[in-house]
Amino acid sequence: MRNKRLSLITISLMAIIILGLSCVGCQQKNGVDYSLESNWAVCEKEAKLKIDHEADVFFICPTAVGGDALNMDINDQDSRDSFLAATLMEKGIYDDNARFFAPYYRQSTLAVYDGLDEETKEQSLLSAYEDVKNAFDYYLDNYNEGRPIILAGFSQGGDMVKRLMVEYGGDPYVSSHLVASYMIGWYITDEELAAHPHLQMAEAEADTGVIVSFCSESEDITSSIIVPTTTKGINPLNWKTDETPADKALNTGACFMDGTGEITSEIPELTGAYIDPVRGTLKVTDVSKEDYPAILSFLDEGNYHIYDYMFFYRNLEQNVQTRIDQFVDLKKIRDEKFGSVHLPDFKNALSKSNVAYDAAASEAGLNLAPGVTNDMCNADYWLRDSRTADKVILSENGIAEFNESLKSEKLDPGCFDYYVGNNRAYLLSKEELTDLVGVFELPKEDLFYIDGKPVEDEFWEKMIKLRDLEGIPDIYDVTYGVTLESADIRMAPTDVALAASEDYDYCDELQNSSVRMNEPVVVVWKSLDWKYYFVVTPYCAGWIDADKVGITYDYDYWMAKTNPTEFVVVTDNHANLDEDPSNEAISGRGLDMGTTLELVTDGSFEANNYNRKALNNYMVMIPAADGAGMLTYENAYLPQNISVSVGYLEYTQRNVVDLAFKALGEQYGWAGLYGNRDCSQYMMEMYRCFGINLPRNTKGMINIPWTSLNVTDLSDETKGEILEDCPIGTLLIFPGHVMMYLGEDGGDHYVISATGSMKIAEDGEVTRFRSVLVNSLESTWRGNGRSWLDSITYIKLPLY
């Protein structure tokens, strides 16, 4: 019985392969015209043929042609017959669930895989992919009509599926309509996934928008032409990605077909399988190499590549329906929320809808930048088509490694990129401390008080005296501190605001930055009147009101309190603790996004000073100072209605964008002035919610070790094309400004940022908007007349 079955399998496979061996015609030079139905092996374009089917399959045939030529001649009838037979052998997996489209294409022949050099091999495969891409474009434009899409391919077809996913997987339309990509019998590496973050591997039986892949082999195979090193895969029997074995009882049917696609033999419970934890391949059990030979000369015995889909035919068939059902259910929910558009009208539909959105915003009295709609002022609008919105971009360990890498980077000369507090016995010499405290040049020329009067020499003489450089000793031991509330970091020991002109424009020329409550600082000097400390923080330095810092000489205590193991991170934009009439130290204390507070988890805190035992509250420790200014901590209730994360927030696209929109409309704060944020501090404090320590200024952000593109000299058109491939959350920078990319809509590219001023007409006046706002790069201009798009110099991709 076994020999008879083997004979049927071998004859079917060899008939398809040998049929193409005579195809030695010249490689076709011209592209294929896919408007001709004759250039499709299968083209089920008539909806009435599959009226009950919910999805379409775009299928890419495996290698089916031999001979000496490198690429199939699609006009050769023998090649077409072989190609069609290979396609029909797999069509049945998808037949009950979808319309089926399979283009003829100039696929690479078997000769390409049999010892050919890599350069020539890739040239052949690129010719094949050119046809596949053109066919897919034609399918999208003419056949899809908004239906869910399954990409499917085996062997070379799997390679082509991967190439399509690299190019199209991030496209908003394709990603929002993709059920899954069945990339059977081809490998994909960790490096490829890292280089293309929009590619997501299947991790379960019903996830959608993912790549389903496995490569079958016997347990003793350690390398093959199909998987030279390692791959990522999933077990089609138990739909797990680890080495958990699946018993053959889970195999609902291995099926073997002839060249018409008719099943000639079906064997339930033929094989078990498990994922190789090292290679990532699918180790097949319960069958022998003798029963299922490799057939192709360049495959070692035990390589079950030929049988990849046959061994698991019924399981795959069921899985296709499972993923379609899941996709349709999710799409109904999404369409109810966002509406549904189809490809040919996609951009037009968005453009037309903008008119209505603008009118609604105007009626509501909401002021918006040109081209911005009310719907765009919502994080969900920009995440609606993202399949990776909830994927963890970087793990906790990865974030720690990233932060460590920043310590050796010279990120921004204007913000100190070293942190002296990392050395518990740190002593500063007179020269070091003089350079540090004297970093800000005084006096600053031609400045004015906010009432328009010029700053007199006496003011600067007082500032120079107060910073007391002459009093610095030969050796000075630093002190450690924690900020008690939000505080300004100044260039001189004063809270007096100075302007660059007689018209105070809320840009204080003595403001260097600001810090939030519970920030670690190193106190390196004090003003002559002891009212200000000169401090160094992890990202900036300057003078701070001494009443806003609690100090300690105990380095170990300071490190323990500023690096707690159990803590919450505030993810609200701004919030306040409740008023506490019995404890002024914590009453109504202000909290800002990114503030971390140590949790009290040992049960020792049960009631506050006026005998309140609060439920639905976190118990946290709030920094305070005693009468001598020494650091202490007070227990406090943190209401559950304040948005926090226990531990750092997971670093996902959704969380990044949600945080960004929590500040929408907030007043812009020059260098953190008046408790608000400028563009770089806005980004920095958002990322602190994930435990990521971005530098303080845009100069530093240019050099953070993320994927970086210098687009300074590129045209607007080229910049726009690059942005089309950039994920939401990408940082865009031009001199003096950083913004977060949201996406493309109606041909324009949109960002959110804390913005001081801009022009909303190319020939208009510069307007001080001073808000966190959404705007189009194409519809806003800088004072120098250049559009924001034209001004972009760097693109930073923060998705690993």
pLDDT in tens, 244-303: 999 999 999 999 999 899 999 999 999 999 999 999 999 999 999 999 998 888 889 999
Give the residue-averaged pLDDT of 685-698.
91
**What confidence score (pLDDT) does residue 115 get?**
78
Instruction: For residue 635, list its beta bridge partners.
Output: 621
The burial of 529, by beta-carbon neighbours within 10 Å (0-12 exposed, 13-18 middle, 19 or more buried), is given as exposed
Has residue 4 got a pLDDT over 60? no
Residue 787 DSSP one-character state: B
**What confidence score (pLDDT) does residue 517 get?**
95
Number of Cβ within a 10 Å radius of residue 505: 14
- What share of the chain in percent tops pLDDT 70? 87
CA 576 to chain centre: 31
Which of the pair, 145 or 526, is modelled with greater confidence?
526
**What confidence score (pLDDT) does residue 603 get?**
64
Compute the distance between CA of residue 372 and CA of residue 357 in angstroms, rounded to an integer: 9
Has residue 615 got a pLDDT over 70? yes
Which of the pair, 389 or 153, is modelled with greater confidence?
153
622 closest CA partner among 533, 541, 693, 516? 516
Give the chain's mean pLDDT: 86
Say which amino acid occupies 34. Answer: Y
599 contacts 524 by C-beta, under 8 angstroms: no
CB under 8 Å to 663, separation ≥6 — which residues? Answer: 573, 593, 677, 682, 754, 772
Which of the pair, 38 or 672, is modelled with greater confidence?
38
Of the candidate ranges 8-17, 86-95, 391-400, 505-514, the one whose mean pLDDT is the lowest: 8-17
**What confidence score (pLDDT) does residue 48 get?**
41
- What share of the chain in percent tops pLDDT 90? 61
Report CA dihedral (251, 256, 262, 267) to the nearest 10 degrees: -40
Does residue 293 sit in helix, strand or coil?
A: coil
**What confidence score (pLDDT) does residue 47 get?**
55
Number of Cβ within a 10 Å radius of residue 43: 18
610 closest CA partner among 591, 627, 632, 586? 586
Number of Cβ within a 10 Å radius of residue 518: 26
**What confidence score (pLDDT) does residue 608 get?**
55
Q: Whole-model pTM? A: 0.59
Look at the chain and count its residues: 800
Determine if the peptide bond prior to 443 is cis (ω within 30°): yes
Q: DSSP readout, 22-36?
A: T--PPPP-SPP-TTS
Both ends of the chain: CA-CA distance in Å?
A: 53
Q: Which two tokens stand for residue 794?
A: 């760097």
Residue 327 DSSP one-character state: H
Q: Which two tokens stand for residue 608?
A: 């506050």
**What confidence score (pLDDT) does residue 351 get?**
30
**What confidence score (pLDDT) does residue 116 get?**
81
**What confidence score (pLDDT) does residue 334 get?**
55
Number of separate helices (H) and strands (E) present in the chain? 20, 35
Say which amino acid occupies 768. Answer: R
215 contacts 231 by C-beta, under 8 angstroms: yes
Has residue 181 got a pLDDT over 70? yes
Has residue 3 got a pLDDT over 60? no
Instruction: For residue 489, list its beta bridge partners.
Output: 513
For 643-669, write each residue's pLDDT tens digit. Answer: 999 999 999 999 999 999 999 999 999
Contacts by 1-4, CB closer than 8 A, 24 or more apart: 2/291
158 contacts 184 by C-beta, under 8 angstroms: yes
Compute the distance between CA of residue 327 and CA of residue 350 in angstroms, rounded to an integer: 23
Does residue 178 sit in helix, strand or coil?
A: strand
User: Which residue in this structure is represented by tokens 């934890």?
Assistant: 277
Cα distances from 246 to residues 106, 283, 316, in angstroms, run 38, 10, 15
Compute the distance between CA of residue 535 and CA of residue 526 in angstroms, rounded to an integer: 9
Which of the pair, 589 or 341, is modelled with greater confidence?
589
Does residue 166 sit in helix, strand or coil?
A: helix
CB under 8 Å to 118, separation ≥6 — which residues? Answer: none
For 209-253, write each residue's pLDDT tens digit. Answer: 999 999 999 999 998 989 988 999 999 999 999 999 999 999 999
The burial of 272, by beta-carbon neighbours within 10 Å (0-12 exposed, 13-18 middle, 19 or more buried), is given as buried
Compute the distance between CA of residue 76 and CA of residue 480 in angstroms, rounded to an integer: 81
HSE-up of residue 95 (Cα within 13 Å, Cβ side): 12
Give the residue-averaged pLDDT of 433-446.
91
Has residue 342 got a pLDDT over 90? no
Of the candidate ranges 152-161, 416-425, 582-591, the one whose mean pLDDT is the lowest: 416-425
795 contacts 732 by C-beta, under 8 angstroms: yes
Cα distances from 59 to residues 80, 263, 385, in angstroms, run 15, 19, 23
Q: What angle do CA 511, 515, 517 make, to 5 degrees?
A: 145
CB under 8 Å to 470, separation ≥6 — which residues? Answer: none
Has residue 122 got a pLDDT over 50? yes
634-653 b/e (C-beta count within 10 Å ≥ 16 → b): bbbbbeeebbbbeebbbbbb
Compute the distance between CA of residue 575 and CA of residue 553 in angstroms, rounded to an integer: 31
Q: Which two tokens stand for residue 11?
A: 């004859």
Do strands 98-103 and 40-43 pair parallel, antiparallel, or not at all (unpaired)? antiparallel
Most confident region among 173-177, 384-388, 514-518, 759-763 by mean pLDDT: 514-518
**What confidence score (pLDDT) does residue 5 get?**
38
Band the pLDDT of 420: cuts 50, 70, 90.
very low
Band the pLDDT of 607: cuts 50, 70, 90.
low
Give the residue-averaged pLDDT of 681-700.
91
Compute the distance between CA of residue 582 and CA of residue 636 in angstroms, rounded to an integer: 12
For 343-387, write each residue's pLDDT tens digit. Answer: 333 333 333 233 333 333 443 568 899 999 999 999 999 998 776
Number of Cβ within a 10 Å radius of residue 295: 16
Q: Which two tokens stand for residue 558?
A: 């300071």
For 629: left if phi > 0, alpha if psi spans -120 to 50, otherwise beta; the answer is left
Strands in 567-570's sheet, in edge-to-edge order, are: 631-639, 617-625, 596-599, 567-570, 644-646
Compute the distance between CA of residue 266 and CA of residue 288 in angstroms, rounded to an integer: 17
Give the residue-averaged pLDDT of 313-324.
95
CA-based torsion, 557, 559, 561, 567: positive or negative: negative
The continuous run of DSSP H or E covering 753 comes out as strand 748-758
The radius of gyration of the chain from alpha carbons, rounded to an integer in Å, stands at 32
Of the candidate ranges 26-35, 164-173, 475-484, 733-742, the one whose mean pLDDT is the lowest: 26-35
Band the pLDDT of 573: cuts 50, 70, 90.
very high
Q: Give φ, ψ of 797 to 5 degrees.
A: -95, 105
Compute the distance between CA of residue 708 and CA of residue 61 in angstroms, rounded to an integer: 37
274 contacts 285 by C-beta, under 8 angstroms: yes
698 closest CA partner among 739, 728, 727? 739
Band the pLDDT of 409: cuts 50, 70, 90.
low
Has residue 418 got a pLDDT over 60? no
Compute the distance between CA of residue 45 and CA of residue 27 in angstroms, rounded to an integer: 29
CB under 8 Å to 144, separation ≥6 — which residues? Answer: 56, 177, 342, 343
Has residue 634 got a pLDDT over 70? yes
